[in-house]
Amino acid sequence: MATHSIVHFEPVDANLDELLASVGRGLAHLDHEVDAIGPLGYDTECGDFGFEGRLEECACFDEAGKKGADWGAIAVRIAPPEPGDYVYSYFWRVESATCIGLEIPSGAIWFENDDWPKVAWLRSFLPSFVSATSTRASAYDNTRTEMFGALDVPTMLDRLKNGDLLNSAPISHYTIQTNLIPMTKIQSTVNEHALPRMNFSVSTTGYYVLDNLH
């Protein structure tokens, strides 16, 4: 059975339909398909909040946004290029904010084909998805255990500044809006604490990207 990893995001101030439409635009350049959606809620086997087990066909994020606005919480299934496994994206409202999550199986990380070397698709997908949501930060590493959790950005920045964030294993991927920490500070922290496998870059959409996906 494939293992699954979780990506946490800071919640955003956006309606579900607007947010999903933005994600669709942000991923338009990337090889993928949206093929199914389903409601999130408490009608689950254990009674906890989660996927309720009902899937409906869906062709795009715009369509998903209309359903999400009605349901109030939605799962969107994303198909990478073959032979990659499905990625599941989750969107749900908490008070006035919209929370976001990603569930990524190992088969969506390590697959390869003639167009995509191993991990290349995920390294393109994650920054594009993050930027489309306009969240301040995201975190993907082996410390994420709560499926429907929100990212604590101050704690993440503290872990970055003391070097702990840069030693996550075995795989990790972080994005941080560039207005949250000066370039000189993050560069010196990376130089001092990052392991050799950690990549550091700045996206054209205003995010620092730190990852050791190889």
Would you state the pLDDT for residue 79?
97
Interatomic CA distance for residues 200 and 211, integer angstroms: 7
- Global pTM reads 0.93
- pLDDT recorded at residue 1: 37
Q: Which two tokens stand for residue 142?
A: 């082996």
Question: Per residue in 27-74, pLDDT tens?
Answer: 999 999 999 999 999 888 788 888 888 899 999 999 999 998 899 899
* Burial (CB count <10 Å: 0-12, 13-18, 19+), residue 55: middle
Residue burial 110-141, b: 16+ Cβ < 10 Å; e: rest:
ebeeeebeebebbbbbbbbbbbbbebbbbbbb
Whether the predicted pLDDT of 7 surpasses 70? yes
Residue 141 belongs to what domain range? 4-211
| Integer Cα distance of 83 and 80 in angstroms | 8
* pLDDT at 142 exceeding the cut of 80: no
Contact indicator for 10, 153 with CB cutoff of 8 Å: yes
In the structure encoding, which two tokens stand for residue 167, read together? Answer: 């030693």
Location of structure tokens 């700045």: 202
Domain count of the chain? 1
| Rounded-to-integer distance, Cα 46 and Cα 114, Å | 42
Q: What is the pLDDT of residue 169?
A: 63
Average per-residue pLDDT for the chain: 92
CA distance 205 to 202: 8
pLDDT of residue 213: 86
Residue 50: its pLDDT value, please? Answer: 85
Please determine, for residue 90, whether its predicted confidence score (pLDDT) is greater than 70: yes
Which pLDDT score, from 0 to 100, does residue 2 have?
A: 46
Percent of the chain with pLDDT over 70: 97
Nearest Cα neighbor of 173 from 205, 148, 147, 137 is 137
Contact 40, 89 (CB under 8 A): no
Q: Which amino acid is at 204?
A: T
